[in-house]
Amino acid sequence: MKPRNAPATPRRSARVTMNDVAREAGVSQAAVSLILSGKDRWVSDSTRQRVLDAARELGYRYNYHARLLRTGKTHCLAMVGNLHGFALHNYVFTNVCRGVTEELEDTQSPYSLLLFGSASAAGIQRSMELIEQGMVDGLLWVLSSSKIDEFERETVPWLAERNLPFVAIHSLSARGFDFPSVGLDSAAGGRLAAKHLAKLGYKDLGIYLSSPDAPQTLEMLNGFKRGLADAGAPFQERFVFREGGKSGQHTFDIACDFAREAPREKLPRALFVTLDASAYGLWKGLQARGLRVPEDVALVGFDDEIPTRYLAPELTTIHHPFREKGQEAVRLLTRLLDEPRAPSKPPRKILAPTLVVRKSCGA
């Protein structure tokens, strides 16, 4: 016996059409098409529910292939990137993806999101082959700053040849790109950290560079120098520490080893660390040798990853607006897809970081 309020068993049919759903719901076929394609923001809730109930009861399945042939659109967006590196190491992909999905849901967008990505070049190539087959209307490409030159040199021409709209999501501001993008003013992050530490009265200020050759890190270093100059504090090259370590070693462990081994007299009174994971490692290494944060060495990180607020002491950091980058990127992309005319120049949005003061800086 079927439980009360159990969903109706769908009446399966080999060929259930929109006309069948329209007849069952007592509405026009055009209304059914709008509702099932997600373009129904002006349809009443009762009508929408009646159509969805009828489609479920009849066992109707929306034919995306037919829609593609009819409209030339899949209403799917692809998000591409190094899923393994971004998601597991610093939450980049996860938080950008959250911003994308929130924007799509909040605006009741007709677009759905598909994820493509791999830690290997071969995996990315397989994704590109699927994309080339017309599975999506546009691309959101999440890039580490160290990969952006390669993307500009190799991928952008490939996308242009296939007339595939895309928006690149990165963390740079100093360079202009001849393609749609959403970036971050990383230099402003370094400037914020330097001015904050100088304002607290620390005299010896240093910077620890994770991924020291990455363009984003160099932007932060330049911003740090400008922040010190703005505050009237000296920049001291001897307090610039460039991450080393063994190949394959995690940045947390590299920073921890550095903090354990560095001579006490070579450590500054306060450090800006260009990645939260490295700041965690420094904190652990300092603690292991009996030094306290912030009493002996004050720390400011960069990114504002979730664990920063749960450490003891809580980590002062520069907030990286990952979610907002995802939101802005999907706004740019859907505008490119939905507006009939291409913009005169590629749209570009640069977001600003913010300082989040907690306890590790001594404030």
Please report, for the domain that includes residue 287, its CATH number.
Answer: 3.40.50.2300
* Preceding peptide of 313 cis, ω within 30°: yes
Distance CA 270, CA 158 (A): 46
Which residues have C-beta within 8 Å of that of residue 82, sequence separation ≥ 6? 93, 117, 118, 119, 142, 144
At residue 12, the pLDDT reads 44
147 and 100 co-located in one domain: yes
CB 76 within 8 A of CB 120: no
Distance CA 61, CA 59 (A): 6
* Residue 54 lies inside a defined structural domain of this protein: yes
At residue 206, the pLDDT reads 98
CB 300 within 8 A of CB 317: yes
* Residue 70 lies inside a defined structural domain of this protein: no
Domain final residue pick, 32, 62, 92 = 62
At residue 73, the pLDDT reads 76
Of the candidates 103, 118, 163, the residue with the CA atom closest to the CA atom of residue 328: 103
227 and 314 co-located in one domain: yes
* Residue 197 lies inside a defined structural domain of this protein: yes
Distance CA 42, CA 8 (A): 27
155 and 44 co-located in one domain: no
Residue whose tokens read 């603690």: 287
Q: In what order do the strands lie in the sheet with 298-303?
A: 240-242, 205-209, 270-273, 298-303, 316-319, 354-356
Domain that holds residue 327: 76-184+323-351
Phi/psi of residue 74, nearest 5 degrees: -95, -20
Which residues have C-beta within 8 Å of that of residue 96, sequence separation ≥ 6? 79, 140, 142, 169, 322, 323, 325, 326, 329
DSSP state of 27: S
Residue whose tokens read 């001291």: 236
168 and 195 co-located in one domain: no
At residue 272, the pLDDT reads 98
* Residue 222 lies inside a defined structural domain of this protein: yes
Type of residue found at 6? A
CB 100 within 8 A of CB 37: no
Strands 316-319 vs 354-356: parallel, antiparallel or unpaired: antiparallel
198 and 241 co-located in one domain: yes
Distance CA 34, CA 303 (A): 41
At residue 21, the pLDDT reads 87
87 and 107 co-located in one domain: yes
* Residue 192 lies inside a defined structural domain of this protein: yes
259 and 279 co-located in one domain: yes
Mean pLDDT by 10 residues, the chain (363 residues): 42 66 88 75 83 84 58 81 56 85 91 79 76 86 90 91 92 90 97 98 96 95 98 96 84 94 95 95 95 96 79 87 96 90 87 96 91
Tokens of 90: 């610093």
At residue 256, the pLDDT reads 95
* Residue 27 lies inside a defined structural domain of this protein: yes
334 and 259 co-located in one domain: no
* Residue 40 lies inside a defined structural domain of this protein: yes
Type of residue found at 209? L
At residue 8, the pLDDT reads 45
At residue 309, the pLDDT reads 64
81 and 165 co-located in one domain: yes
Instruction: Report, in angstroms and rounded to the nearest whole number, the Rg of the chain calculated over CA atoms.
Output: 26
* Residue 69 lies inside a defined structural domain of this protein: no
Of the candidates 56, 65, 62, the residue with the CA atom closest to the CA atom of residue 24: 56
159 and 245 co-located in one domain: no
Distance between terminal CA atoms of the chain? 66
Domain final residue pick, 62, 96, 118 = 62
131 and 245 co-located in one domain: no
DSSP for 49-62 reads: HHHHHHHHHHT---
* Preceding peptide of 343 cis, ω within 30°: no
User: Which helix (H) or strand (E) segment is 299 a member of?
Assistant: strand 298-303
Please report, for the domain that includes residue 26, its CATH number.
Answer: 1.10.260.40
Using CA atoms, how far residue 293 sits from 168, 228, 241, 280, 303, in Å, is 38, 22, 18, 11, 19
